[in-house]
Chain A
Amino acid sequence: MIPFEFEYFRPETAEDAVRLYHELAQSGLEPVYYGGGSELLTMARAGNRRFGAVIDVKAIPECAAVEEEGDKVYFGSAATLGAIERSGLFPLLGRTGARIADHTMQLRITLGGNIAGTIRYREAVLPLLLADASMEIYTPDGAQSVSIHQVFSGRLDLPPGALLVGCRVAKEFARARHGHVKKTKSEKIDYPVATVCALDADGYLRFAVSGVHENPFRDLTLEEIFNDTRTVPRLRADKIVEMVRPGAVSDVLGSAEYRLFTFKRALMEIFAMEREGAMV
């Protein structure tokens, strides 16, 4: 049971949603944008989050869309992980999403919710970081398109009330060869101890990581080491692990040392996939 009252709105345009947000905020109602609800509902129930108004964005066509647009593919922020996987438009994003939650929850959790939520793993962002996605944002000043690297650094950083409408990715990245390795504590579907997504950009492997540090990251320096073929893969992995070590998290899912061990295993598996031509 959610132990407080709130109002519910279901606008049909991004403009209405953003205007509504600011009106509600001004009247002190503490509004939230709402997609699948898996995080907001459970946190509200447990008393970890309060809000006075819910702005459901699922009826906004741009938020719900999953489609091809010429040489780009587009994913609305309210598209579910399940819908994105079924579309087959960005296989790495599909595979990453399919390991975030059980099937039932894949049909509720939205792309925007996973990226903008408070649960720190935000694995859906990894493929977008690798594909240099552009983020479609709506603010009171209107629609804007910005690079993911401008607005995402560990977490999504938007001005208050700005709405993430969707993400746009070039087909050359969406269809690029890729690898996805996820290590969990025990259960297949769980938060990551370490998740590594890799994407082949013209023979240069990009990779991004979730689970090891407090927040997900992609690091260009680490990518350079990763691609430095003058050294054997094991030493490259060792070097990367050493550089990542300072921020490694210890918690109930695993100690920092174990996280680094699984992270290295994941890197080695990506190397092996690359060597054996197992990246698709």
Chain B
Amino acid sequence: MGGAFGGKAGVDLEILAVLASRAVGGRPVRIANMREEDIASSPCGAGAEVYVRLGADGSGKFRALEMRVLLDTGAYADMGPRIARAILADCTGPYNIEHVFCECVTVYTNHTYATSLRGFGHVTSTFCIERTVDKMAASLRRDPAALRAMNLVRPGDVAPTNFTITESMLGNPGACLEAVKKLIKWDDGCVRQEGKLVYAKGLAVFWKTSSSPPDAGSSAVVIFNDDGSVTLQVGCVEIGPAMRTTAAQICAAALGMDVQNVHVSMPVSTAAAPRHWKTVASMTTFLLGRAILSAVADAKEQLGRLAALSMRCAPEDLEVHGGRVFRKSDPAQFVEIKSICRGFKFQNGNTVGGRVIGRGSVTMQNLTTLDRFTGHGRAGPYWTVGAQAVEVLYDTSDHSFRILKAATVLDAGKVMNPEAAHAVVRGGMGMGLSQATREGMEFDPSGRPLDTSLRTYKVMHFSQTPEYLTQFVETPNAEGPFGARGIAEHGALGMGAALANALSKAAGVQLDELPVTPEKIWLKRSEKPL
């Protein structure tokens, strides 16, 4: 369980290791940060200051968006410009807005430098857009959920970077919103006061596509063993979210065989394993899954050719399923895979063919870099959309709060492994809520980090976690393996926004800064004339 959540994407310790190794004549060296050094000097999430203007007409239809993002990526650029580009490409959130101006400036500061962190800028952009949408709803006196529903992007609309969106690319944000409203019981009311306590609910919707290079790819090798089982070689590294299980499931489903008979080779040998771009961007299932399907198709073709010899028919009349190759017109005529996967042996001992090894390789398709001046282009292959909600219990006497419930509905395209899918989304929600309520690097005026120890840098403890409610919508992604979309980062994306929306309502002040803490609410309330 777990993950690196982007922390391995930046180049940091590698530089030191190279320098240290050179100093000792190229011998191996080991670099280990202590926790305090890691927090202070290894890359963290990017900070941002964002200015948003949203224009709507009298009916509530969003007409124009202007957004300026100053991205604090610390002392080195590293992933900063790519995060900026990712924010730009999805800047509107899942809304159809005709007129969009978005500028994202990566700013060098004397803060700890930033790298990718679960969401790749989308936690920031979602927070800003979704807080603005709630304010718009308040000034139009509209239900925030209804205002969102009427403005959600739909197939046929144009993406912020100027291409026409299809259902396969988008999924169904409206269905996610409807489902999350039910989970959080939105229509039962959003604010309720009982003495000094206020119960309040907040919503957020989001979308995210990947920001990979246009040639990011993956590959897989499917090797049949003597007993008919399969060894699957892949290049992507398991860092927590059960990628190997997913890989085995995809391979087994494509071959119509028991998942127990698929052995995913581990650990990854970079000397021998086919290359996988990176285990990042919620793209592993998509890229690796496609590579596995391509390798399985290649293996099936080889099996078909070998079985055709034995069954005296054309390979195209055969099908592979359940450890057998059989005739489509008469499944009673079959040959076991294990009897042909080392090559077909004639009765007199002559053998033809050889071990069946399927290979598959894919890259992203039709992605472009964004035009430098217009921002036009296509950053990712599809979106994963979702809706989230939070219910808080706010204490008006000391401004403390508890998160009672948190709900997420994602359009997963196809849920491959329900238990793992719910778990990865809940994990993301916990991370998002922890960031939204506790986490944030604090610096003194000279840029020195103040929180370099887990004594004071608190993550949400287990006893403080809310009840998690998770659900999936399945709108197939035509290019994804079995229709799947990535879901790894998305649980975190809208949590801060939904929480701040709930607490802003509960406390009657605008909470526009993360993390939201009782002290910040107290400050806002103190500024407010009574």
Contacts and interface: CB of A to CB of B under 8 A. Distances in A.
B461 A46 contact: no
Contacts of A155: none
Contacts of B227: none
B264 to A, nearest CB: 35
Nearest to B462: A102
Contacts of A252: 442, 450-451, 456
A186 B518 contact: yes
A258 B522 contact: yes
B463 A188 contact: yes
Given A46-B34, A255-B519, A261-B522, A191 B398 contact: no
A45 B37 CA distance: 12
B514 interface: no
Contacts of B397: 265, 268
B396 to A, nearest CB: 11
Nearest to B450: A252
A140 interface: no
Interface string B25-64: 0000000001010000000000000000000000000000
> Interface range on chain B: under 10, 10 to 19, 20 to 34, or 35 or more?
20 to 34
Q: Which 4 A-B pairs have the closest CB atoms?
A: A187-B458, A265-B398, A258-B519, A252-B450
| Most-contacted residue by chain B among A45, A186, A253, A258 (CB, 10 A) | A186
A186 B515 contact: yes
Contact of A191 (B438, B456, B515, B522): B456
Interface in A95-127: 102
Contact of B461 (A185, A188, A253, A254): A188
Contact of A185 (B34, B450, B464, B517): B517
A206 interface: no
> Interface range on chain A: under 10, 10 to 19, 20 to 34, or 35 or more?
20 to 34
Interface in A159-212: 183, 185-191, 193
A82 B463 CA distance: 18
A273 B457 CA distance: 32
A265 B397 CA distance: 7
Main secondary structure of the interface of B (DSSP, over half): loop
Contacts of B464: 187-188
Given A252-B451, A265-B397, A265-B398, A185 B442 contact: no
Given A45-B34, A189-B461, A253-B456, 15 more contacts: A46-B34, A102-B461, A185-B518, A186-B437, A186-B517, A188-B461, A190-B458, A191-B456, A252-B450, A254-B519, A261-B398, A261-B522, A265-B397, A265-B398, A268-B397
A262 interface: yes
Contacts of B451: 252
21 contacts: A42-B455, A46-B36, A102-B461, A183-B398, A183-B400, A185-B518, A186-B437, A186-B438, A186-B517, A187-B438, A187-B458, A188-B461, A191-B456, A252-B450, A253-B456, A258-B522, A258-B523, A261-B522, A262-B398, A265-B398, A268-B397
Interface of B: 34, 36, 397-398, 400, 437-438, 442, 450-451, 453, 455-456, 458, 460-461, 463-464, 515, 517-519, 522-523
Nearest to A188: B464
A52 B450 CA distance: 30
A102 B518 CA distance: 21
Interface of A: 42, 45-46, 102, 183, 185-191, 193, 252-255, 258, 261-262, 265, 268
A185 B461 CA distance: 14
Contacts of A253: 456
A187 B175 CA distance: 35
Contacts of B456: 190-191, 252-253
| Most-contacted residue by chain B among A42, A189, A258 (CB, 10 A) | A258
B460 A187 contact: yes
A123 to B, nearest CB: 14
Contact of A187 (B34, B461, B522, B523): B461
| Most-contacted residue by chain A among B442, B451, B458, B461 (CB, 10 A) | B458
A190 B398 CA distance: 17
A186 B451 CA distance: 14
A22 B397 CA distance: 53
A42 B464 CA distance: 25
Contacts of B461: 102, 187-189
A21 B461 CA distance: 39
Given A46-B36, A252-B456, A253-B456, A185 B519 contact: yes
A40 to B, nearest CB: 14
A174 B198 CA distance: 36
Contacts of B463: 188
Contacts of B517: 185-186
A253 B519 CA distance: 9
